[in-house]
Structure 1
């Protein structure tokens, strides 16, 4: 079982929006050097919504090849079309990913029984561990704890990224399915509380800029060191806030460019971070000696 800090990896781009393969290779090495426990390319933070299928699969392949077995790779394989999600999940298997993270179908807003059928269909079609992803703030559909419980006995469904930020909700999910699937946080500011409640780790945006700090924080939580991890999270709070001052991944890409990790390329309809937020993000980064 994967535990600890899993980076929701950005997809580096040039100023014209084309993919920056050299920077992507560098990010993989950056995360391995600084303790990230697993790497998740082409999720929401990786701008999967604006990558073509060919680009999406090429990023998975590049990351898997560059990681070369040194860390688990969980590929983003979600789509609001079940057929497309199956196709992406199958490609992830063929390309060597260790699992696929599949978000709840966005925009078309299926009912709970539709969510069950959707994920059952993916699991039945592809022999690759399937991680559920619930982020109603981005998708417009909320996968209820009872729905997660209904899916927990499906053999290929092994984990869920619970990104509501609601710790009472997370505790209920862990109570219902924690003995059958791993529960990961998808909300950096509250991830320590989810791990202290029995979660296995955090799928993190902040880890893009502070991989060692996020790894260390997850380890404290996994060790049950509640006072220490809460004090550490208080220190990290300004950085978390900075990473979400505009829509993800706008601020984190700006911060990574400021660190010299890549260029500040992003695809429409997202645009570069508004300059009025730069002092806030810079101050948070300087406070943690990231720049």
Structure 2
């Protein structure tokens, strides 16, 4: 099974009303903001989307809403990972039926997961649902840290066609890219390594910052991945990097939601226990956006 994504895929928020219910109308505003800025698609239901705070029914509904809003305009990779194989298959089947282009599946993130068990988990999903799978590599949250050879085996033996690298290990990312590209596609997923990943040759980036500044993120992709203009890319990265660095220094969903509000497409609060950015950090974020030439709504 082949699936080759290109461009910036924005890791998106789950819009909330003040009562912490899902803001269904808010999804379309997020999609319009992101795709009109030049991004290639959206990735709902991941860490940025607070998936661990949503019920299964809410996760399905959020994926439906993003698929509907983006249909015909951009790709949708729906987050469907869960603690059990059965629930992951249920969420994956639902996303496929709703029209997702692919799914992003984080490995089960509680309890010890050995390699044989992990292969069986992704193998069962692949057998049950015929859809490309993006492996969500985030070892700091899951405790699952694969070797380059294991990434390759996962790609050869299951429907995992690519992996979002949120591991922060540039050397390992390079080893997979250089030595195992025939088996699995590397997609950058670590904000502050985006310049490196695109310069290396990654054809896509799953990037939460793109939910806030989609235009700048799309420009960086075009400059580096399409035009191969390193000099101009460095100029853009000097502008973008402080924003990425800021977001990685704070709770990520809270930071992205603050950013969407600052640029005029607010997505409401995050669900507890996540707290909003403190006023001084929000002011700092606003300053970074202004320095990057972004219009800020106060």
Q: TM-score, normalised by structure 2?
A: 0.93
Q: How many residues get paired? A: 291
Q: Equivalent residue for 1:231?
A: 235
Give the distance between the partners of 2:264 and 2:124, measured in 1 at CA.
Answer: 42
Give the distance between the partners of 1:109 and 1:248, measured in 2 at CA.
Answer: 26
Aligned counterpart in structure 2 of residue 246 of structure 1, from 211, 226, 250: 250
Give the distance between the partners of 1:121 and 1:142, measured in 2 at CA.
Answer: 20
Q: Equivalent residue for 1:264?
A: 268
Give the distance between the partners of 2:110 and 2:231, measured in 1 at CA.
Answer: 40
Q: Equivalent residue for 1:38?
A: 41
Q: Equivalent residue for 1:193?
A: 196
Q: 1:202-221 residue pairs with structure 2 within 5 A?
A: 202-221=205-224
Gaps of 5+ in 1: none
Q: Deviations over 1:134-185 (max 9, x none)?
A: 0112222212222111112135221110111221111011123312332101
Give the distance between the partners of 2:215 and 2:282, measured in 1 at CA.
Answer: 23
Gaps of 5+ in 2: none
Give the distance between the partners of 2:268 and 2:290, measured in 1 at CA.
Answer: 19
Say whether residues 1:22 and 2:25 are aligned partners: yes
SS where residue 152 of structure 1 aligns? helix
Give the distance between the partners of 1:8 and 1:109, measured in 2 at CA.
Answer: 27
Q: TM-score, normalised by structure 1?
A: 0.95
Q: 1:78-93 residue pairs with structure 2 within 5 A?
A: 78-93=81-96
Give the distance between the partners of 1:275 and 1:108, measured in 2 at CA.
Answer: 37
Deviation at 1:81?
1.4
Q: Please say if residues 258 and 266 of structure 2, whose CA atoms lie closer than 8 Å, have aligned partners that are also in contact.
A: no
